[in-house]
């Protein structure tokens, strides 16, 4: 009897406290004035530039002693160039391509998906086609237009990201 009385009092107090707290607005209900990641697609990256990005990424990877797979997709999400470093894990071939493809299709670094799922509680991202919630896919922007993306896989996400940035940064210097 005492237990039932205690449970009833606890339930009443809980309901009273929750009724007094105002409902928090859902941040995903906010409507931005401008489209996020509104980067226009440009002409596809050339094979020469794609190979230059791969060469820079491979050089960075070798400098650090990492063995990675590196893919470059064009602005239509088509593979232009690929390198599998000696000893890089085979399972990461498709992942490198997936990261580059997702970066092109969604016009953002794949790190945004990783953060959205892990920190932003945006699990709905996992329901979208071609999403990969792992860093290591970075768009290539030239004159304000997306011309492609670099995707790397085989290390940790942060290792993949460092090597991708080396590839993308090399193109900015050309």
Work out the number of other CB atoms within 10 angstroms of the CB of residue 133. 19
139 phi and psi angles, rounded to 5 deg = -65, 150
Q: What tokens appear for 101 in the block?
A: 């493809």
The answer, yes or no, to whether residue 9 has pLDDT greater than 70, is no
The three-point CA angle 107-90-65 to 5° equals 85
The answer, yes or no, to whether residue 6 has pLDDT greater than 90, is no
pLDDT of residue 26: 74
Place of tokens 């002693």: 65
pLDDT of residue 124: 83
Give the pLDDT confidence of 35-88 residue by residue, as tens digits. Answer: 888 899 999 999 999 999 999 999 999 999 999 999 999 999 999 999 999 999
pLDDT of residue 28: 73
Q: Which residue has the higher pLDDT, 5 or 23?
A: 23
Q: What tokens appear for 103 in the block?
A: 């970066």
Considering the domain 47-172 in this protein, what is its CATH number? 3.30.450.150
pLDDT of residue 96: 98
pLDDT of residue 4: 56
The answer, yes or no, to whether residue 5 has pLDDT greater than 70, is no
Rg, Å, the chain Cα set: 23
The answer, yes or no, to whether residue 13 has pLDDT greater than 60, is no
pLDDT band at 3 (very low <50, low <70, confident <90, very high): low
* 85 class by beta-carbon count within 10 Å (0-12 exposed, 13-18 middle, 19+ buried): middle
Give the pLDDT confidence of 106-159 residue by residue, as tens digits. Answer: 999 999 988 888 887 788 888 888 889 999 999 999 999 999 999 999 999 999
């Amino acid at each position: 009897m005492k237990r039932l009385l205690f449970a009833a009092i606890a339930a009443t107090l809980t309901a009273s406290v929750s009724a007094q707290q105002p409902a928090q607005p859902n941040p995903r209900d906010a409507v931005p004035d401008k489209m996020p990641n509104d980067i226009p697609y440009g002409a596809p990256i050339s094979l020469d530039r794609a190979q230059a990005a791969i060469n820079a990424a491979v050089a960075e990877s070798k400098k650090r002693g990492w063995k990675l797979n590196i893919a470059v997709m064009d602005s239509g999400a088509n593979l232009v160039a690929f390198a599998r470093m000696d000893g890089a894990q085979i399972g990461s071939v498709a992942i490198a391509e997936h990261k580059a493809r997702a970066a092109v299709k969604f016009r953002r670094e794949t790190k945004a998906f990783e953060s959205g799922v892990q920190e932003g509680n945006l699990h709905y991202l996992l329901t979208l086609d071609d999403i990969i919630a792992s860093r290591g896919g970075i768009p290539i922007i030239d004159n304000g237009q997306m011309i492609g993306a670099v995707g790397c896989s085989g290390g940790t996400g942060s290792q993949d990201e460092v090597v991708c940035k080396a590839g993308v940064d090399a193109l900015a210097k050309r």
